[in-house]
Structure 1
Amino acid sequence: MRKILFLNYITTNMNFTFGTKKDNLLSSSEFVSGLVTGALIGLAVGVLVAPRSGKDTRKKLAGAASQQADELADQWDDAKSDAKKEINTIKTKVSDSSDKAIDKLDSYGNKVADKAENLTYKAEDKADDLADDTKSAIDKVKDVFKIG
């Protein structure tokens, strides 16, 4: 009789529906919360019935937690070190690139200055040639007209 009352209580209060929510079973939050609750209860029962004493179990758990914390700290230090190395590599590459850019700009600047200087000399030569031609033409005109 107790079993029947218990089963009746469970089926009426737990709202079991068979076959209607089959597709939504895995996405149901009730299923997930039941799964988590079951896992926690299983863990608690496992700790309670473990062959070690509570003190030994706590010591073992504390040791495992400490080991995990040490490993995590080591991984954090490794990650920081790797990040610093990568930052230094990037700084070096940026510095090298900027040095190359500055060198190229200086080179282009020097080429422009050299071309400007060459053009200045050519212009001066042309001006001198023009002045000589003009003086020669004036001398010829003076000779033709016998001026001066």
Structure 2
Amino acid sequence: MSNNRSGVFFGGLMLGATIGTLTGLLVAPRTGRETRKLLKKSADALPELAEDLSTSVQLQADRLSVSAVRNWDETLERLRDAIASGIEATQRESQVLKTQNTDDDIDSEDPNSPHLSN
């Protein structure tokens, strides 16, 4: 989403700069010949300007992509850690329950056990 906003922003910035330049050239007090020369120079510079804009947007997209992959990797690692902790806790709880059940079985067989109720 940020990449799209940045591209739109830079595109609008370039369009505004081009329109401003053309308007300035057309209302400037110059002869027609001088104005046409300046317009030709500006028109000749547009492909280079568009290429620079494209390169800038591509670099920004690459940075965002790297950042997204890094965030994904960090999230995935935290998820793996959480799953491993959950598995360990479940195994410990299972072991505690087995031990309690074993103790209860032993107590139920011993008539002198304090755990038996009358």
Whether the TM-score (by the shorter chain) exceeds 0.5 is: yes
Provide runs of 4+ in structure 1 moved above 2 Å.
45-54, 56-59
Aligned to 2:47: 66
The one-letter amino acid paired with 2:67 is: E
C-alpha displacement at 1:48, in angstroms? 3.8
Count of aligned pairs? 92
Aligned to 2:79: 98
The one-letter amino acid paired with 2:45 is: A
Aligned to 1:75: 56
C-alpha displacement at 1:109, in angstroms? 0.1
The one-letter amino acid paired with 2:62 is: S
Q: State TM-score, norm by structure 2.
A: 0.63
Q: State TM-score, norm by structure 1.
A: 0.52
Question: In 2, distance between residues paired with 1:113 and 1:47?
Answer: 89
Structure 2 gaps, min length 5: 1-21, 113-118
Structure 1 gaps, min length 5: 1-38, 134-148
Higher relative contact order (CA 8 A, sep 6+): 2
C-alpha displacement at 1:51, in angstroms? 7.8
Aligned to 2:25: 43
Aligned to 1:3: none
Question: In 1, distance between residues paired with 2:38 and 2:29?
Answer: 8
Identity %: 13
More helix by share: 2
